[in-house]
Amino acid sequence: MLKIDNILLPNGLYIVSTPIGNLKDITIRALSVLKNCDFISCEDTRVTKKLLSKYQIKSKKLISLHKYSNQNKLIFLVNKIKEGKSIALVSDAGTPIISDPGLSLVILAIKEEINVFPIPGPTAIAASLVGSGLKSDNFFFVGFLPNKKNQRLNILKKIKKINSLLIFYESPKRIRKTLNDMFLIFGDRKCVIARELTKYYETFYRGKLSKLKEINKDLKGEITIIMSPPEKEHVVEENKIDDEDMEKISKFVENKLSKKDLSEILSIIYKKPKKFFYTKLIKSIR
């Protein structure tokens, strides 16, 4: 049996990450904070009680906090910390505040000059990203898309050109619609659906959007989608200037503008180095 230490926690707000499915995915430090804090602010008390009972953390005072909690609840919690108490903030799963409640409490705590201690651990962002096998040096976390179709399509259009992996949280109820909308806006990109991570039915569906949107399996449970960036040619195409255009431009500005000045203007418009255009201009008048 794991023995969790007894320590005196300095007063403050502890933002504690908890498992995203498998209850063994919790750090020793997180358990120590949960055991030794004065209060735990949580979403659903039943979910947090289950975690506490697994680690035999007994008689903890749980205070529920969700997105509809009013300012009085936040003030109550902050006052407790000011009186010298330590409060652990947890959500039902993963890292609080990441598509979960808690931000207003952290903002108020910082405003009141209270110490805030993140206790890092699981989040579906990291687990899905590393298991996806998709290559990218960076990623952009989108979170949940809006419910309304128009708003959803608008967001997808806005983020279409981002040259990074995109990570979305999604509910099983909307996954089909979302995959169709993504196909409509992004085209046939590579993507990964990470389902029920760390749980018994953990599954990764990998492939092109055209294939995944037709998937015949029941997509139940918790789902994260990782979308690859636009294809290279796609990105270049947006800023493309071909040799024929270059020749037309250089003819048009002949004797009106120096090659150096023209290169500078083109580099601003097309967001490419001046040298790139200068070399092209020299070639085009040969």
Minimum separation from the CB atom of position 223 to ligand SAM (A): 5
Which residues, numbered 45-84, are part of the site for ligand SAM (CB under 6 A)?
none
**DSSP character string of 16-32:** E-B-SS-TT---HHHHH
Radius of gyration of the chain (CA): 26
Cα 28 to Cα 194: distance, rounded to the nearest angstrom: 26
Q: In the complex with ligand SAM, which residue's Cβ is closer, 95 or 250?
A: 95
With CB under 6 A as the contact rule, the residue among 4, 98, 162, 215 that binds ligand SAM is 98
Cα 76 to Cα 79: distance, rounded to the nearest angstrom: 5
- Which H helix or E strand runs over 208? strand 203-208
Q: In the complex with ligand SAM, which residue's Cβ is closer, 94 or 230?
A: 94
Minimum separation from the CB atom of position 208 to ligand SAM (A): 21
Q: In the complex with ligand SAM, which residue's Cβ is closer, 200 or 242?
A: 200
- Which H helix or E strand runs over 194? strand 190-195
Q: What are phi and psi of 26, to 5 degrees?
A: -145, 140
Which residues, numbered 148-207, are part of the site for ligand SAM (CB under 6 A)?
169-171, 194, 196-199
Q: In the complex with ligand SAM, which residue's Cβ is closer, 145 or 262?
A: 145
With CB under 6 A as the contact rule, the residue among 51, 69, 100, 263 that binds ligand SAM is 100
- The interface region with ligand SAM, picked from 64-72, 93-101, 184-192, 276-284 by CB under 6 A, is 93-101
Cα 153 to Cα 131: distance, rounded to the nearest angstrom: 27
Cα 18 to Cα 20: distance, rounded to the nearest angstrom: 7
Q: How far apart are the first and last CA of the chain?
A: 80
Does residue 99 belong to the site contacting ligand SAM (CB under 6 A)? yes
Q: In the complex with ligand SAM, which residue's Cβ is closer, 144 or 252?
A: 144
Does residue 224 belong to the site contacting ligand SAM (CB under 6 A)? yes
**DSSP character string of 15-81:** EE-B-SS-TT---HHHHHHHHH-SEEEES-HHHHHHHHHHTT--SPEEEE--TT--HHHHHHHHHHH
Cα 205 to Cα 194: distance, rounded to the nearest angstrom: 7
- The interface region with ligand SAM, picked from 29-37, 45-53, 211-219, 220-228 by CB under 6 A, is 220-228
CB atoms within 10 A of CB 239: 10
With CB under 6 A as the contact rule, the residue among 15, 124, 179, 262 that binds ligand SAM is 124
With CB under 6 A as the contact rule, the residue among 16, 222, 250, 277 that binds ligand SAM is 222
Does residue 43 belong to the site contacting ligand SAM (CB under 6 A)? no
Residue nearest to ligand SAM as judged by C-beta position: 94
Contact residues: ligand SAM, CB under 6 A: 20-21, 91, 93-95, 98-100, 123-125, 169-171, 194, 196-199, 222-224
